Amino acid sequence: MTEINKNSTDFNSSNFFIFLWNWRKVLIIITIATAILSVAASFLITPKFKSTVILFPTSSNSISKSLLSENTGNKTDILDFGEEEQAEQLLQILNSSKIRDKVIQRFDLANHYDISEDSKFKNTYLIQEYNDNISFRRTEFMAVEISVLDKDPQMAADIANTISNLLDSTKNAMQKERAIRGFQIVKGNYESIQKEMKMLEDSLKFIREKGVNDYETQAEMTNQELAIQIGKGNKQGIERLEAKLDTLSKYGGLYVAFRTNLIYKIEQSNKIKAKYDEAKIDAEEYIPQKFVVDSAFKAEKKTTPVRWLIVLISSFAAFMLSILVIIFIENVYKKTILKP
C-alpha cells in the first residue's frame, strides 16, 4: 500500500508530461474538435461594428461669466478645455435616461434589437441591450469617449453622433430651465425698480411745476432777496418772496426726499442692469458644451466576434478540462481497483 501511495505521489509531481504523452491522442482529438466547433459557432454570432466619438468638455457653462463678467477672478475663458469635474458631469448626463430614451425612440431600437412588444420584460431587455451596445468612458486625457456597437455599421455611427449632439441639447435644456427662472427673478426686480424710478420722476416733475427746482439753492437765494426787500420796505416784493418761501416750505421736504430716493434707485438700477444683461444672455443664448475631437464614421471592419480569440480560448479550456476529467477518472479507477 505504501508503494502504491508513492507511485501516486510520483505521478502528481514528476510524471505529468508522461501523462500528457500517454493521453496525447485523446487530448489532441478533443482540442481539434473543440476548435472546429468554435469556428462553426463563431459564424453563428452576428458581427458587430464599432463607432466612437471623442470629445472634451468645456471649462465654462455660462456665456455671461465668460464674456461679460467684470470680475476677473471668476472669469473663465470660453475656449478652455474642461477638467475631471466637467468630464464626470458629461458622463452622468450621457448615462441619463433623458438621452437614452431619446436615442431609443429616434432609432426605434426595440424593433432594431428584435425585442417583442408582447414581452413582459421588454423594457428591461431593451435597456440591457442598450447598455451592452452603447458605453461611455473617460479617457486618460480627460476626454469622454462614446462607443456604439451595432450589426449595422452606419447605424452605429449615426447613434454615436446623435448621442454627441443630444449631449449639447440635454445639458443646455437643464441649464436653461434654471437660467430662465433666474432671469425672471432679476427681470422682475429690475422692472420694479424702473417703476419706482418713474413714480419718483413724476413726483419731482409735479413739484418742479410748482416752482421747486433746486430746494437748497432756491431757499438760500429767496431768503437773501427777502432780507433785501425788507430792508427796502418793498411790501409787494416781501409778499411775493414770502409766498415763494411758503411753496418751498410746503414742497421742499418732499423734493429732497424724492430726489435722494431717486439717486439711490438709479444706483440700484445700474447694478441690477448688469445682472439683468448677464441673466438675459444665459437664458436666451446657446453655447456648445463640448469640443468634438473625432466624430463617428461608418466602420469598414467588424469588431466582434474575434474568431481567433474564441477558438483559442475554447480550445485551451477544452484541453484543460479534458486533463482534469482524465485525472479524475484515473484516480477513481485506481481507487476502485486497489480497494481492499
Does 339 have pLDDT greater than 80?
Answer: no
> Is cis: bond before 305, omega within 30 of 0?
yes
- Check residue 300 and give its pLDDT: 81
Query: What CA–CA distance (Å, rounded) separates 147 from 95?
Result: 12
- The beta-strand segments (E) located in 47-143 are 49-57, 134-138
**Residue 58 vs residue 337, higher pLDDT:** 58
- Cβ-Cβ contacts under 8 Å for 227 (sequence gap 6 or more): none
Weakest-pLDDT range from 5-14, 130-139, 169-178: 5-14
User: Percent of the chain, pLDDT > 70?
Assistant: 84
**Residue 108 vs residue 237, higher pLDDT:** 108
Query: What is the rounded end-to-end Cα distance, in angstroms, of the chain?
Result: 10
Does 15 have pLDDT greater than 80?
Answer: no
Does 14 have pLDDT greater than 60?
Answer: no
Q: Which pLDDT tens digit goes with each residue over 195-249?
A: 988 998 888 888 887 777 776 777 777 677 767 767 777 777 777 767 777 776 7
Query: What CA–CA distance (Å, rounded) separates 94 from 195?
Result: 45
Residue 144's beta-bridge partner residues? 55, 138
Provide the whole-model pTM.
0.64
Question: Most confidently modeled of 40-44, 59-63, 97-101, 266-270?
Answer: 97-101
Q: How many residues does the chain have?
A: 340
Q: Which pLDDT tens digit goes with each residue over 170-197?
A: 888 888 888 888 888 888 898 899 998 8
Does 105 have pLDDT greater than 90?
Answer: yes
Residue written as grid cell 457653462: 61
Residue 234 amino acid letter: N
How confident is residue 65, by pLDDT bands cut at 50, 70 and 90? low
Q: What is the mean pLDDT of residues 149-162?
A: 93
> Which DSSP helix (H) or strand (E) runs through 147?
strand 144-150
How confident is residue 289, by pLDDT bands cut at 50, 70 and 90? confident
8 Å CB contact between 51 and 148: yes
Q: What is the mean pLDDT of residues 148-164?
A: 93
- Check residue 70 and give its pLDDT: 57
